[in-house]
Each structure stands twice: as structure tokens, then as C-alpha cells.
């Protein structure tokens, strides 16, 4: 009988890097938020404004074919990221917050946990309405098919 030996856990700490404040020339240190998916390699050591520094998580995009001008085009929908802007002028953005992309570059931003829950609940209610519409659609189609087939007899 063999006994499985667990692999040692690898602790991955978020990367720490630095940039130079464009206004003051001061070297500023940044530790990314856990899960940050941005590649900051081009920012390291660069002169930049602190408010231009942020971290976020990037999900796999969800797209749907949306008809805008007579031709369906794939648009990103309902993508949610977690973002933090350590030197934002808005104090609330200095802590991680959620951003929901409703449809291709149209966002609900600055969501704390309660705000995100409100968006989730709102969308869940809309999904329930869509499910009810689906049930009605199945019924209406069945009635329509039956009636059309009777008329063609």
C-alpha cells in the first residue's frame, strides 16, 4: 500500500516593484494585489504619475453575438474584475473594488462588496424574468405551431 505524500505548498507572494513619481522624482514602491494579472514589467523604474498605477484581475472574457447595425458582432458581456488604485484621488478606490463590464466598454465601477451584491441580485432577478420568458416562449411556439399546422391541414 502506497501513501501519497502531499506536495509542499508554494507560497506565491504578489510581486513588489517600483516606479519614479513624475512630480517629485521620488522612488515609489508598489506591491501588487493578490491575483493581479497585469504585466507591470514595462512600468518598473519608469517615470509615471502615481494615480496611473493600478492592479486588476482579468477573467476569461464572455462574449455574445450582439446585433448593433444589422450584423451580429461578438461583444464582451458581464465580465467582472477586481481592481485597486493605490494612489487614487478617491479614497474608496485605494482598496480593492469590483468593476462589472455590462457590455463591451460599458461599466459599473467602484463596487464595494455590498454594491457588487446589489448588481448580482439585480442581474439574478433579470435572469429569473428571462427564465419566465423562456417558459412562455416554449408555450407560445407550441401553440403557434399547432395552429399553423391545423390551418395548413
Q: Where are the domains of the chain?
A: 112-153
Grid coordinates belonging to 112: 464595494
Mean per-residue pLDDT over the chain, rounded: 92
Q: What is the pLDDT of residue 13?
A: 87
pLDDT number for residue 34: 95
Residue 152 has pLDDT above 90, yes or no: no
Rg (CA), the chain: 24
Give the tens place of pLDDT for each residue, 77-88.
999 999 999 999
Confidence band (pLDDT; 50, 70, 90) for 1? very low
**DSSP summary character for residue 32:** P
Q: Report yes or no on whether pTM surpasses 0.85.
A: no
Amino acid at each position: 500500500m502506497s501513501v501519497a505524500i502531499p506536495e509542499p505548498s508554494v507560497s506565491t507572494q504578489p510581486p513588489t516593484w517600483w516606479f519614479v513619481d513624475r512630480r517629485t522624482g521620488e522612488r515609489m514602491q508598489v506591491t501588487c494585489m493578490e491575483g493581479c494579472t497585469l504585466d507591470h514589467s514595462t512600468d518598473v523604474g519608469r517615470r509615471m504619475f502615481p494615480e496611473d498605477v493600478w492592479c486588476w484581475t482579468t477573467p476569461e472574457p464572455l462574449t455574445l453575438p450582439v446585433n448593433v447595425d444589422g450584423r451580429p458582432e461578438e461583444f464582451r458581456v458581464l465580465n467582472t474584475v477586481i481592481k485597486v488604485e493605490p494612489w487614487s484621488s478617491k479614497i474608496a478606490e485605494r482598496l480593492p473594488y469590483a468593476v462589472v463590464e455590462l457590455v463591451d466598454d460599458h461599466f459599473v465601477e467602484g463596487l464595494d462588496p455590498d454594491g457588487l451584491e446589489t448588481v448580482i441580485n439585480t442581474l439574478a432577478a433579470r435572469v429569473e424574468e428571462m427564465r419566465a420568458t423562456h417558459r412562455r416562449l416554449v408555450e407560445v411556439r407550441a401553440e403557434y405551431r399547432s395552429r399553423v399546422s391545423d390551418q395548413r391541414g
